[in-house]
Amino acid sequence: MESMRFVPELQKGSPEYMEDRIDIWRSIIDHSHTHGRELTPGRIGPVRDLAFANKEGEECHGTEEFVYGGKTAGVNREVYALNIFANCKMQAELRYHIYDGVIKISQANTSPQYQGYGMNSRLFQDMSDLHPDIMCVYTNLDDSNIEVYMSNVQKGMDPVIAARYTPAGKVRERAGWRLDEDRSWLARWDKDIGKLVAKDGKQLHGPVRLNYRRDAIE
């Protein structure tokens, strides 16, 4: 297929540069899909300036970029990333791929010194806005998310509630998604053996996975 890459001629510091660029990023994706032209891997369109504040009122400023990583060899899996830079370094990233109408989150990180500023929520909301036709997103719990989940179920919390109270669960609900219990791989705590097991009591054969769908889907 013919490759294409559209980069609007905007100068840094201009009013247009400072505006929300989600509309441009999304139009580039839509144009490539509509006309069957594959995007060139790399940054898509212009970056945009953002401002954040934590609960103490401390502010920080950064720039966000949208990156296309190409397609996975052999399958029609498109890879994307949203990154936030501050102080000349990447401080938050959200990497995901889209396959068969589903978004799979592969990586979501925020630098420790920038946690609490809402960067992860910003990235997830932007990803949701960039792909309005995608109705399903899932991710495997790891790091701090699985720690929170395990702590909750160890206290006797219902697995569904425990999932919603993880950092990942809160971010998704703020962006307008709701947990799909039937399609999620949830687990409960077995006190007798001291570890997570599947909801039916059987051995857990994989990670705890959260599957979320948009509000409009029943």
pLDDT at 4: 31
Two tokens, residue 57: 């009122």
- The secondary structure of the chain in percent helix, strand, coil, rounded to multiples of 5, reads 30, 35, 35
Residue 51 and residue 59: Cα distance in Å, rounded?
A: 7
pLDDT at 15: 41
143 shares a domain with 50:
no
Listed residues 102, 131, 160: the one ending a domain: 131
Give Cβ neighbours of residue 34 (< 8 Å, ≥ 6 apart).
none
199 shares a domain with 158:
yes
Listed residues 131, 152, 184: the one ending a domain: 131
In this prediction, what percent of the chain has a pLDDT beyond 90?
71
Q: Are strands 42-43 and 59-71 parallel, antiparallel or unpaired?
A: antiparallel
Per-residue pLDDT of 46-81, as tens digits, reads 999 999 999 999 999 999 999 999 998 777 899 999
pLDDT at 50: 92
The least confident of 6-10, 23-27, 85-89, 107-111 is 6-10
- Structural domain harbouring 149: 135-218
Per-residue pLDDT of 15-48, as tens digits, reads 444 446 788 999 999 988 888 888 899 999 999 9
Q: Is 13 left (phi over 0), alpha (psi -120 to 50) or beta?
A: left
Number of domains in the chain: 2
pLDDT at 194: 87
Listed residues 90, 110, 131: the one ending a domain: 131
114 shares a domain with 8:
yes
